[in-house]
Each structure stands twice: as structure tokens, then as C-alpha cells.
Amino acid sequence: QKEVEQNSGPLSVPEGAIASLNCTYSDRGSQSFFWYRQYSGKSPELIMSIYSNGDKEDGRFTAQLNKASQYVSLLIRDSQPSDSATYLCAVTPSGGSNYKLTFGKGTLLTVNP
Amino acid sequence: SAVISQKPSRDICQRGTSLTIQCQVDSQVTMMFWYRQQPGQSLTLIATANQGSEATYESGFVIDKFPISRPNLTFSTLTVSNMSPEDSSIYLCSVAMDRGTDEQYFGPGTRLTVT
């Protein structure tokens, strides 16, 4: 059973701080990695995808991937109260279809004004 | 990304009945999927909806319980059959766009409560 692990949180940070969200995965051959944001009562929204080792930046978001350590993270700079949500890490399996996303259980982030 | 709609947005159903959920996309997409998100849990893939052929189900999900149709490249339905309270969940469709990536985008979801 391929697994994706995240700290459930809640992770609480003050407004303006950096929020760091972490994810580990068990399938060493995974190739594609995604971060989704899910507000309470809403569906997941794709915010970042990363495929290669290293950092990928998009505005206030930075995704970091380390395939050797089977670790992917999301940094949110200058956190805002509107960033308060559950962040889901998702991974595609090795071999076969690249579309079968396996999700972690998510980390609840609270940004305090 | 595409605009994805689902109907109904929510429903309350009685045990033993069936509910069909519709997913409509505003552009043609190759891949459509159905997920379930049980209360307080993450998302679990139910099946891949294949256009013109039978859906591909994940372990633990069977066609008799979750029949799926995909008559064209913009539309799919998921039926939850012979419902029990354990089927109370949010059901989400997702699509993968034809852009050479495997990014998936989700519809707004259908919140189902079975009494």
C-alpha cells in the first residue's frame, strides 16, 4: 500500500510568518507531486505541482522536493489569515497511470492575525 | 483550468435508495475521475471514468455499488447504489487536462448524507 504521510496539525503561525508544511511518501518511484489547498466545506484547489528535485516558487508559495529522502514540502511566505485551510499533499505512483493520485490526510494550517 | 460543475451539490437520501451525481466540464478532457472524501478524511480514488468503455475501479470499489458512465469527453455520472449511512461522504469528480501534465482539477463536490 503506497502511503503519503502528513502531520495533521493544527499548525498555527502568526500573520506574516513562514508556514512550513511537510509530506513524506513511501513509493520511491513516484514522479509527480502536488499540493492542494482545501478550505472548510470546499473542494481541493491545486496550488503547486513539482516534478524535479529542488525548489519551485510561485508567488508566496515554494514547493521543495527531495526524491532521495522521499520528502516534499510547501513553504508559505508572509502568511495571511486567508491561507488558513487544510493543505493536502498528493503523489502519483510509479509505473502505470500517472493520474492515480494518492493523498495524504492533510495538515490544518491556522494563520493568526 | 476547466470549469467543472456537479449536480446535485448536496442531498439527503434514505437507506436503500440510489443517487446519481453528474459532472460536467466546459471543455473536452481526456481523463475524468471520481473520488470520495469521508468526514474528516482525505480523498480516496473510486474509479477512472473512461469514455466509451467501462470505468476502471480501485481496490475496494465495485461497479455494482458505484456504476459510472462517461458518454462523451465533457460529462460523467457516478451512481451510489443501495445506500447505507456509511456512504455519507463528499463525492468529487476531477479532470486532467490535455496539457502534457498530470495535474488534476476538482469539481465543487456533492455532499451526500444517508439516513
The pLDDT tens digits for A10-58 are: 999 999 999 999 999 999 989 899 999 999 999 999 999 999 999 999 9
Residues of chain B neighbouring A98 (CB-CB closer than 8 A) = 102
Low-confidence ranges of chain B (pLDDT < 50): none
Q: Measure the CA–CA gap between B4 and B24, rounded to whole angstroms.
A: 6
**DSSP code at position B62:** -
Residue A14 near residue A110 (C-beta atoms within 8 A): no
Q: Could you tell me which residues are beta bridge partners of residue A107?
A: A87
Q: What is the pLDDT of residue A70?
A: 96
Task: Please compute, for residue B106, the number of CA atoms within 13 A of its CA located in the half-sphere on the CB side.
Answer: 24
Spell out which residues of chain B touch residue A102, defining contact as CB-CB under 8 Å.
45
Instruction: State residue A43's pLDDT score.
Output: 96
3-state secondary structure of B85: helix
Answer whether A5's CB lies under 8 Å from A104's CB: yes
Q: Residue B44: its pLDDT value, please?
A: 94
E strands of B1-115, at which residues? Answer: 4-7, 10-13, 19-25, 31-37, 43-49, 56-57, 68-72, 75-80, 89-96, 104-106, 110-114
The single-letter DSSP state of residue B87 is G
Give A105's contacts in chain B (Cβ within 8 Å).
41-42
Q: How high is the pLDDT of residue B17?
A: 98
Q: Write out the E strands in chain A.
A: 4-6, 11-14, 19-25, 33-38, 45-50, 54-58, 61-66, 71-76, 85-91, 102-103, 107-112
Q: Which of residues 40-59 of A touch B (CB under 8 A)?
A: 42-46, 49
Residue A79 contacts residue A111 (beta carbons within 8 Å): yes
- CB within 8 Å: A99 and B105: no
Mean pLDDT of A71-93: 96
- Report the residue from A49, A90, A105 with minimal CB separation from B101: A49
Q: From CA B82, how far away is CA B15, in angstroms rounded?
A: 7
Is A85 near chain B, with CB under 8 Å?
no
The per-residue pLDDT of chain A, averaged, comes to 93
CA distance B104 to B4: 11
